[in-house]
Structure 1
Amino acid sequence: MYWTEFLTVAFIHLLAVASPGPDFAVVVRESVSHGRQAGLWTALGVGTAIFVHVGYSLLGIGLIVSQSIVLFNALKWAAAAYLLYIGFKALRAKPAPVGEPTSSTVPVQRTAKGAYVAGFMTNGLNPKATLFFLSLFTVVISPHTPLPVQAGYGVYLALATALWFCLVAMLFSQRRVREGFARMGHWFDRAMGVVLVALGVKIALSEIR
């Protein structure tokens, strides 16, 4: 009975999750810089944060946030500050000392908790995600759809997001891919820093539409 609605939700989500943004940038950086395990934990962090967006959308809190300039600004500044923080950290990457191997076969140590938090914070604080899920649950999904069915959509969205970014992590953590990026050494980190800072500035300048 709800298959048409579900397929619509799934298609819209696919288009949204496949478009490069803060989540993609963070997963790629973690995967290239710290290896597959870190990339997968980051992807799981992003996927788990989806439950936060789904939760407040079902409770109607998302509508309150979208209509409150103060709350929306607080959220977007928190997101922008976090992206700027990790972006500037990446911009400060230094060249490896002369004579030190630069191969990416030995990734820099990264705790699972640190990688997970990076993914969770990046997605959970993103005001664009807030507006996306608000639109999804108020425009695309009928208000007459039973709450358990809507919650089921939310579980799918979280799992699909985690799976997508796990695939991204597995791709960018492959030895050949990582070695290719490793040839650029600290320049890759700096390039990713520029991307993250740009995304942070873009979020900071965003407005409720």
Structure 2
Amino acid sequence: MEFWPEFILIASVHLVAVASPGPDFAIVLRYAVRYGRNVALAASMGIGMAIFLHVCYSLLGVGLLIKTTPWLFTLFSVLAAAYLAYIGWQAVRSGAPVSVTTDDKAEAIAESPSLLKAFTSGFVTNGLNPKATLFFLSLFAVIISPMTPVSYKVIYGVYMAGATAVWFSFLSVILTREKVRSFLLRKGYWFDRLMGGVLLALAMHLIYGAIQSQLH
């Protein structure tokens, strides 16, 4: 197939992008440590499904409209920053457990969000990620040829959604292995606070970027 080289290039670029630390990783890590495998897997599925959102607006040209309309991109960035700041602040406020026992683990899971809520959090986190928006804009504008049929572009999108979900599901499984999770749960509040700090820093970075774009 003449489009195999293009597909391999897309797969390689996507692998580097999805493996890079960011809001998606922070969410999965927090959910895996605090609430267990099922919640982390649900968030992973949400992150993967959000890829379809990026692919759809890229195919429809909406992404280009967002990029070329400063106030719209600023609004998009502010919404993303507000959501990340909300999640980050909750994580930063995590307190240290007095002790970690089987009952503590069961209590943490009992207090966990529903699978639907975890899925939605993953979907919104990835869907409102401006870096993901710029990644897909670059992908469809630079790497994917204008001559590539729409059917192949859809196949690329399905692959990237599936690969993203598989990657974060893999992380969910690794992070929730009994020994790993027991250690992380004992020190989980530090990971919560660390990931919360990362999310708050990302939120501030988005706000700064939005302000700079308006000034220029």
Aligned to 2:63: 62
The count of aligned residue pairs is 208
Shift of 1:100: 7.0
Q: CA RMSD in A?
A: 1.8
Rounded to whole Å, the distance in 1 between the matches of 2:12 and 2:129 is: 21
In the alignment, is the contact (CA less than 8 A) between 2:33 and 2:188 conserved in 1?
Answer: no
In the alignment, is the contact (CA less than 8 A) between 2:100 and 2:185 conserved in 1?
Answer: no
Pick closer, same or farther for the CA change 1:99–1:140 going to 2, 3 Å: closer
Shift of 1:95: 2.9
Alignment-mate amino acid for residue 49 of structure 2: T
Secondary structure of 2:74's counterpart equals helix
Aligned to 1:78: 79
Secondary structure of 1:200's counterpart equals helix
Aligned to 1:51: 52
Alignment deviations for residues 43-89 of structure 1 (CA, whole Å, 9 cap, x no partner): 00000000000000001111110111111111111111101001001
Pair 1:200-2:206 in alignment: no
- Structure with bigger helix share is 2
- If the length of structure 1 is used for normalisation, what is the TM-score? 0.93
Tell me, which stretches of 5 or more residues in structure 2 are unaligned? none
Secondary structure of 1:143's counterpart equals coil
Shift of 1:186: 2.5
Alignment deviations for residues 121-173 of structure 1 (CA, whole Å, 9 cap, x no partner): 11000111111001101110000111111111111111111111110111111
Where do residues 103-114 of structure 1 align in structure 2 (5 Å cutoff)? 105-106=105-106, 107-108=108-109, 109-114=112-117
Shift of 1:99: 6.2
Pick closer, same or farther for the CA change 1:135–1:24 going to 2, 3 Å: same
Pick closer, same or farther for the CA change 1:164–1:99 going to 2, 3 Å: closer
In the alignment, is the contact (CA less than 8 A) between 1:102 and 1:183 conserved in 2?
Answer: no
Aligned to 1:26: 27
Secondary structure of 2:148's counterpart equals coil
Alignment-mate amino acid for residue 25 of structure 1: A
Percent identity (aligned)? 48
Alignment-mate amino acid for residue 84 of structure 1: A
- If the length of structure 2 is used for normalisation, what is the TM-score? 0.90
Rounded to whole Å, the distance in 1 between the matches of 2:196 and 2:129 is: 17
Shift of 1:195: 1.4
Rounded to whole Å, the distance in 1 between the matches of 2:192 and 2:80 is: 20
Rounded to whole Å, the distance in 2 between the matches of 1:99 and 1:6 is: 50
In the alignment, is the contact (CA less than 8 A) between 1:102 and 1:185 conserved in 2?
Answer: no
Pick closer, same or farther for the CA change 1:100–1:204 going to 2, 3 Å: same
